[in-house]
Chain A
Amino acid sequence: MALAARISRPFVPRLFSRSFAAAAQPQTFAIYRYDPDQQAKPFLQEYNIDLKSCGPMILDALIKIKDEVDTTLTFRRSCREGICGSCAMNINGKNGLACLLYIEPSSKPIEIQPLPHTYVVKDLVPDLTNFYNQYKSIEPWLKRKDVKAKDDKEYFQSREDRAKLDGMYECILCACCMTSCPSYWWNPEYYLGPAVLMQAYRWIADSRDQFTEERLAWVNDTMKLYRCHGIMNCTNCCPKGLDPAKAIVHLKEQVAETYTDAWKSMMTEEIVKNKGRESGMMYM
């Protein structure tokens, strides 16, 4: 019995014949397909697989479909243990990592779509260039004003100060939170988004960093920071259990506490210095 492909596509014979014996546990997946060669309207293609011969995670199902049913199905994946962030996608309406989400057997098809409101390159592969550029723009490295002497060891950081970074340094840049945020949907070019703002705060909260005020001034902008309205989709879907919304609250608090009018000239100086700075991303 051929696997059900419920829309009219030319039938391509497969090497595997799947027989649905009594012990099988069939599950339908409705997966977003977009072919950049055809550039036709995207559609949901249904695939039916037997969960008994499939691993427990959504990613296992996707790999099984790709290996055994339709090798043209395209998606990003790498570590399969939830640390690389490649397989971020929208499953049954919620963003998450396919490798960390269990398949919940259901009579209704499990819907798998790419991350919302992104340019889709093909099938489940979104273009995240803007996100990566925004991450670069907050300068995610330690910035010091002094120079280390030759025999100096590590910068001192107390355990309490180090603990302030917990819940932020673990971010894997999967973009689940970014693409779940309605503000980011409407203003991706200007609003930095939860992940980038949380990383901005990660460096502000790092006791070893000496450019705290400059970093605060950099994000203090009506579009960059204040498009956040506390919608909370970000914290709700973070697959690593992090809390970008809370980081943004702390960020806004610290901005309000620290603000001085000198920030205006500090910002102008930064923008002038950064002119012509390439993002470093290459794409043809």
Chain B
Amino acid sequence: MLSRLTRPAANAAARLAKSVRKVSTTQIGGYEVFDHSYDAVVIGAGGAGLRAAAGLVGHGLKTACITKVFPTRSHTVAAQGGINGALANMTEDDWRWHAYDTVKGADWLGDQDAIQHMCRLAPEVILELESFGLPFSRTPEGKIYQRAFGGQSLKFGKGGQAYRCAAAADRTGHAILHTLYGMALKFDCLFFVEYFAMDLIMSSHCSASEGVKRRVVAASRRTSGDDGKCLGCVAMCMEDGSIHRFGAHSTIIATGGFGRAYQSCTSAHTCTGDGSAMASRAGLPMQDLEFVQFHPTGIFPAGCLLTEGCRGEGGILRNSEGEPFMARYAPTAKDLASRDVVSRAMTLEIREGRGVGPNKDHIFLHLDHLPPETLAERLPGISETAKIFAGVDVTKEPAPVLPTVHYNMGGIPTNWKTQVVKDAEDTIVPGLFAAGEAGCASVHGANRLGANSLLDLVVFGRQAADTTAELVKPNSPPVVLPKNAGEASIARMDKMRHCSGPIPTAVLRRELQVTMQKYAPVYRNADDLAKGKEAVVEVMKKFKDVGVSDRTMIWNTDLIETLELENLINQAAQEMYAAEARKESRGAHAHENFPDRDDENWMKHTLSWLDKPHVEDAKVVLKYRRVIDQPLDKEMHHVPPAKRVY
């Protein structure tokens, strides 16, 4: 089904056509705007974005990859543990067992067709990465080393721990991103580096009064005739402040998550949900934003990540009594239970007074019982990180850890082919795709298993390229952009650049982060969520009073951070509303007033919209969409819901 990645035939004419930059310029809102035309545009150059870009070029499509940071700075580089795949290098294995684990890990909110697709393709994509030079760690037989990881089992949960997380020491994300970047270089991908994508260009924004018209939510009531096609995007070059409109037959959003909405997160400063917010401003829904993963072992207090691979190699969590308490909460999997289970266990231990440290506010991760050679070979990166950020020598002492925001299971809803859908009837948005953490296929449902995200990136990055190739012919005639496309975005950017409200961006951002951390942590309750809704609405309204001091167009990080703040508020508001509305506990959403999973009423995806594009005017609207519980084809059986015990 998915095509193997091969180099396009050396075609001198094609290369020449690509290297001659035909750009036209126009004037909009006082800014000079450069227009570009491509077959496909990828927004984001992390794992999913790079794989999509390389795949598109491999199909012979004229591709541009827009990224706000240099590709190898994307946060994929910080992933540590590994990438899951049933290679069967350590024990016998089967992708259907992996799919079962993923469905269970998602607490039955994952779409089983997408899960089947991902798990079935896992061995192939891992081998493809290796064939591009990824330096996986090796077994004594010279095969790819696979370690134990959370929530992974054999024989549909009955065969004990599975060793299916292919790893490159504890720098797998780094290895994957650099390998994918090398792949992109080999395929001669065209990058627009340090271009900040501001908004999508949609076909229903055609009229001259686009700047004034607002997009009305009620996507399911939309009349036919307005196909709401995506025509491309508008971006700002940070180096000189020029504005660029990219017209494309296919736009792929691969911009990652929005971990920076929280005060304490393992995420980079750049994880601000830009692509997701762009889709939201275009009137499209987000899906399942209430499901935010708290990684059990973020260093306390720095927040830097200590991979689940620590526990995979034998590390143990202990409380103030020295007890390996996970045995009580997850008798079978113990420390390698699903991440939400472990985070909740740690939170309860601290609540019940068995936390460690002078304030009894964190937990110890012990690696000191492991042979130093194992730590040096399998976990060198985190040994260094623990030394620098916690002052701890992991061969001798435990590392202080606390559940820390790490991943967003939710995102832009898509089908298993990465095509964005805009309502509960799965109506496809032509020309728009989403892959990686920014998308919600949904393979992770209510909780993601460790090492499934790197897999998600590569599988769905590739799928986005392949689906595009099915729909778009190479060197297609250029997309005709409406004359005033991007007018609203440019006006908004101009307004933000000149705003002089009393609230500095950093202050409002801090207020948002504290709000989310306080009212939507690991354990949520009705009171806090209600207060959280009010507090987040306050932050939304305050955005109109934000002030930017830097007026330049060149590398204006003050402006960029303010635009990123709007994106964070956009996503966080929808998360808070979605969380408050979900009256059950499922996966990472633990609701103290509704401690059980309620399949009868709540086995459904949350769809959330902002009813106006700009956060200071908007209200959140919620609807629901069914979970796809049937696999793609007969190769896998449907996994019926069951009690989730580790």
Query: Are A141 and B137 neighbours in the complex by a CB distance under 8 Å?
Result: no
Query: Does A203 sit at the interface, judged by CB under 8 A?
Result: yes
Query: Are B552 and A84 neighbours in the complex by a CB distance under 8 Å?
Result: no
Task: Return the 6 tightest CB-CB contacts between A and B, nearest first.
Answer: A142-B133, A67-B506, A141-B182, A71-B558, A72-B550, A78-B268
Looking at A110-118, A153-161, A262-270, the stretch in contact with chain B turns out to be A153-161
Q: Which of A79, A121, A162, A203 contacts B78 (CB 8 A)?
A: A79
Q: Which of A72, A75, A172 contacts B174 (CB 8 A)?
A: A172
Query: Does B502 sit at the interface, judged by CB under 8 A?
Result: yes
CB distance from B126 to the nearest CB of A (A): 8
Contact with B along A21-40 (1 / 0, CB 8 A): 00000000000000111000
Query: Does A1 sit at the interface, judged by CB under 8 A?
Result: no
CB distance from A157 to the nearest CB of B (A): 6
Q: Which of B188, B239, B304 contacts A284 (CB 8 A)?
A: B239
Looking at A3-11, A177-185, A273-281, the stretch in contact with chain B turns out to be A273-281
- Given A78-B269, A85-B73, A278 and B554 contact (CB-CB distance below 8 Å): no
Query: Are A121 and B239 neighbours in the complex by a CB distance under 8 Å?
Result: yes
**Nearest A residue (CB) for B12:** A276
Q: Which residues of B are interface residues toward A (Cβ below 8 A)?
A: 12, 15-16, 18-19, 34, 69-70, 72-75, 77-78, 87, 127, 130-133, 135-140, 142-144, 168, 171, 174-175, 178-179, 181-186, 188-193, 237, 239-240, 242, 268-270, 302, 304-305, 381, 384-385, 388-389, 502, 504-507, 548-550, 552, 554-558
CB distance from B39 to the nearest CB of A (A): 16
Query: Does A214 sit at the interface, judged by CB under 8 A?
Result: no
Query: Does A80 sit at the interface, judged by CB under 8 A?
Result: yes
Residues of B within 8 A of A70 (CB): 549
22 A-B residue pairings within 8 Å (CB atoms): A36-B552, A78-B73, A78-B75, A79-B73, A79-B75, A79-B78, A81-B385, A82-B388, A83-B77, A83-B381, A84-B78, A123-B555, A128-B70, A136-B185, A140-B133, A140-B178, A153-B127, A154-B130, A154-B143, A276-B12, A280-B184, A282-B192
Q: Which of A71, A121, A136, A144 contacts B549 (CB 8 A)?
A: A71
Query: Are A139 and B186 neighbours in the complex by a CB distance under 8 Å?
Result: yes
Query: Are A159 and B138 neighbours in the complex by a CB distance under 8 Å?
Result: yes
Residues of B within 8 A of A278 (CB): 15, 18-19, 188, 190
Bound-state CA distance A74–B241 (Å) is: 14
Residues of A within 8 A of B87 (CB): 153-154
Bound-state CA distance A86–B381 (Å) is: 18
Bound-state CA distance A236–B269 (Å) is: 28
Chain A, interface residues (CB within 8 Å), range = 35 or more
Query: Does A197 sit at the interface, judged by CB under 8 A?
Result: no
CB distance from B65 to the nearest CB of A (A): 9
Query: Does A132 sit at the interface, judged by CB under 8 A?
Result: yes
CB distance from B287 to the nearest CB of A (A): 26
**Nearest B residue (CB) for A278:** B19
Dominant secondary structure at the A interface? loop
- Given A83-B78, A140-B185, A284-B242, A15 and B504 contact (CB-CB distance below 8 Å): yes
CB distance from B72 to the nearest CB of A (A): 6
**Nearest A residue (CB) for B76:** A84
Query: Does A206 sit at the interface, judged by CB under 8 A?
Result: yes
Bound-state CA distance A283–B184 (Å) is: 18
Of listed B12, B15, B74, B131, residue having the most chain A CB within 10 A: B131
Query: Are A100 and B185 neighbours in the complex by a CB distance under 8 Å?
Result: no
Bound-state CA distance A75–B268 (Å) is: 15
Query: Are B242 and A277 neighbours in the complex by a CB distance under 8 Å?
Result: no
A32-78 with Cβ < 8 A to chain B: 35-37, 66-68, 70-72, 74-78
Of listed B12, B190, B269, residue having the most chain A CB within 10 A: B269
Bound-state CA distance A206–B269 (Å) is: 34
Q: Which residues of A are interface residues toward B (Cβ below 8 A)?
A: 12, 15, 35-37, 66-68, 70-72, 74-86, 100, 121-123, 125, 128, 132, 136, 139-142, 144, 148, 153-159, 162, 165, 169-170, 172-173, 203, 206, 208-209, 241, 276-278, 280-284
- Given A78-B269, A84-B268, A86-B73, A203 and B189 contact (CB-CB distance below 8 Å): no
Residues of A within 8 A of B506 (CB): 66-68, 71
Query: Are A71 and B131 neighbours in the complex by a CB distance under 8 Å?
Result: no
Query: Are A170 and B174 neighbours in the complex by a CB distance under 8 Å?
Result: yes
**Nearest A residue (CB) for B36:** A282
Bound-state CA distance A164–B190 (Å) is: 32
Residues of B within 8 A of A276 (CB): 12, 15-16, 19
Bound-state CA distance A35–B550 (Å) is: 11
**Nearest B residue (CB) for A209:** B133
Residues of B within 8 A of A142 (CB): 131-133
9 new A-B contacts at CB < 8 Å, known A15-B502, A141-B133: A12-B549, A37-B552, A66-B506, A74-B555, A78-B268, A123-B555, A141-B182, A154-B131, A282-B192
Residues of B within 8 A of A86 (CB): 69-70, 73
Bound-state CA distance A109–B25 (Å) is: 47
Q: Which of A35, A36, A81, A241 contacts B389 (CB 8 A)?
A: A81
Query: Are A280 and B131 neighbours in the complex by a CB distance under 8 Å?
Result: no
Of listed B15, B384, B502, B556, residue having the most chain A CB within 10 A: B384
Query: Are B73 and A81 neighbours in the complex by a CB distance under 8 Å?
Result: no
Query: Are B77 and A284 neighbours in the complex by a CB distance under 8 Å?
Result: no
Residues of B within 8 A of A281 (CB): 191, 193
Residues of B within 8 A of A100 (CB): 388
